[in-house]
Copies of this chain bind each other. A is one copy, B any other.
Amino acid sequence: MGGKAGKGRRTGRVRMEEVARLAGVSTITVSRALRSPDKVSAETLRQVKAAVAASGYVPDLVAGSLASNRSRIIAAIVPSIAASIFADTVEGMGEELRDAGYQLLLGNSGYSIAEEEALVAAFLGRRPDGMMLTGIVHSEPAREMLKQAGLPIVESWDLPDRPIDMAAGFSNRSAGRAMTESLIRAGYRRIAFLSGAIEREHRASERRAGYIEAMQAAKLVPLALADIARPTEMRSGAEAIAGLLAREPELDAAFFTNDLLAFGALTECRRRNIAVPGRVAIAGFGDYEIAAMAEPALTTVAIPARDIGRAAARMLLDRLAGRAVEPAIRDLGFRVIRRASA
């Protein structure tokens, strides 16, 4: 082994020092050439670039983060990655972040605020420049850590009463109310709302609250069931609808907390020759791809999943760039979409 093996605990990677030597400049000049090319002379820039290419240098962002106290990492915590609706939000974030040179550290809380708290603690150790959380319900320790850390935060997918910092979402309660009102206007009277255990999913409970408000305002009797065991699976919707119609023969509409359940119910109705919307109308939530495709097409609430991600990323980037973020709480809205199923 020849030469400069070194005695320390070096990693063997090509370092900036090597590039500097090849280019005949100091390391700080290399650093500047790479990060702010306009701060070095054209000639120096050329030489540094050549040296980088010749040596195969890859900047060590870990060392850079430590020295600069900026990581160019944005952390995001979602309840589930496999739930396509959150995947859309993550992809929206990714689109914005990539162009800005930021990278995405992703965590999955499994709809648990205890797990979210653990992720927050672990992620903060990475010194992310910003963080996106899903929802507005968090543990007190998590809120505390985040405020302490003082980094920009965006809560998403709902509108917080007590924001940690910024937010990008829509009112799940208003959306639940709007769909219910739409069903009432269409002439339905005995409308049920179906979701999974609501304490586990605050957004579903908000939709449910909106449903109850609309029913009461119309002097109708709410029938809100929160007993679906696996509310992210289509088959749960199929299982739910049959039992429900048996128990509540007067029912004329079923509003599900998401399109997967609604589609499952729709399919089960076809299997059993239950006319939709003739015998029972079915409405979903989310405007998943399946909603427009289904037969009959599914009445649902369209929500801006991807835009939430983009907005969240832009708000974080704006704050990091020192730009004012106004308003700090952004309502991205929703849209009731009437299709054939209700």
Which residues from chain A sit less than 8 Å from chain B, CB to CB?
Answer: 9, 11, 56, 58-63, 65-66, 69, 71, 73, 80-82, 84, 87-88, 90-91, 94, 98, 103-108, 121-127, 145, 148-149, 233-235, 238, 260, 263-264, 267, 270-271, 289-290, 292-295
Which of B80, B94, B122, B290 interacts with A108 by CB under 8 Å? Answer: B94
> Given the complex, which residues of B lie within 8 Å of A121, measured CB to CB?
58
* Contact status of A80 and B91, CB under 8 A, knowing A125-B58, A125-B61, A234-B293: yes
B82 near A103 with CB under 8 A, answer: no
> Given the complex, which residues of B lie within 8 Å of A149, measured CB to CB?
58
**How many Å lie between the Cα of A239 and that of B316 in the bound state?**
40
* Contact status of A71 and B62, CB under 8 A, knowing A104-B106, A148-B56, A294-B267: yes
* Contact status of A66 and B62, CB under 8 A, knowing A290-B234, A295-B271: yes
Interface SS of chain A = helix
Give how many copies assemble into the complex.
2
Closest 6 CB pairs of A and B: A61-B125, A106-B106, A82-B87, A82-B91, A81-B91, A234-B293
**How many Å lie between the Cα of A127 and that of B193 in the bound state?**
49
Which of B65, B69, B234 interacts with A9 by CB under 8 Å? Answer: B69
> Given the complex, which residues of B lie within 8 Å of A104, measured CB to CB?
105-107
* Distance of A198 from chain B, by nearest CB (Å): 23
**How many Å lie between the Cα of A281 and that of B18 in the bound state?**
63
Which of B66, B88, B270, B293 interacts with A263 by CB under 8 Å? Answer: B293
Which of B62, B91, B124, B295 interacts with A127 by CB under 8 Å? Answer: B62
* Distance of A166 from chain B, by nearest CB (Å): 21
> Given the complex, which residues of B lie within 8 Å of A294, measured CB to CB?
267
A270 near B293 with CB under 8 A, answer: no
**How many Å lie between the Cα of A276 and that of B84 in the bound state?**
28
> Given the complex, which residues of B lie within 8 Å of A98, measured CB to CB?
108
> Given the complex, which residues of B lie within 8 Å of A126, measured CB to CB?
61-62, 103
* Distance of A292 from chain B, by nearest CB (Å): 8
Shortest Cβ distance from A64 into B: residue? B125
B103 near A60 with CB under 8 A, answer: no
A293 near B235 with CB under 8 A, answer: yes
> Given the complex, which residues of B lie within 8 Å of A124, measured CB to CB?
58
* Known contacts A263-B293, A267-B294, then 16 further A-B pairs from the complex at CB < 8 Å, ordered by chain A residue: A58-B121, A58-B149, A59-B125, A60-B66, A60-B127, A61-B127, A66-B66, A81-B87, A82-B90, A87-B87, A104-B106, A104-B107, A106-B106, A234-B290, A235-B293, A260-B289
Question: Mind listing 28 A-B residue pairs with CB under 8 Å?
Answer: A9-B69, A58-B124, A58-B145, A58-B149, A60-B66, A62-B62, A62-B66, A62-B125, A62-B126, A62-B127, A66-B66, A80-B91, A81-B87, A82-B88, A82-B90, A84-B84, A87-B87, A91-B108, A98-B108, A103-B107, A103-B122, A104-B105, A105-B105, A105-B106, A106-B106, A267-B293, A267-B295, A270-B295
Shortest Cβ distance from A61 into B: residue? B125
A289 near B233 with CB under 8 A, answer: yes
> Given the complex, which residues of B lie within 8 Å of A290, measured CB to CB?
234, 290
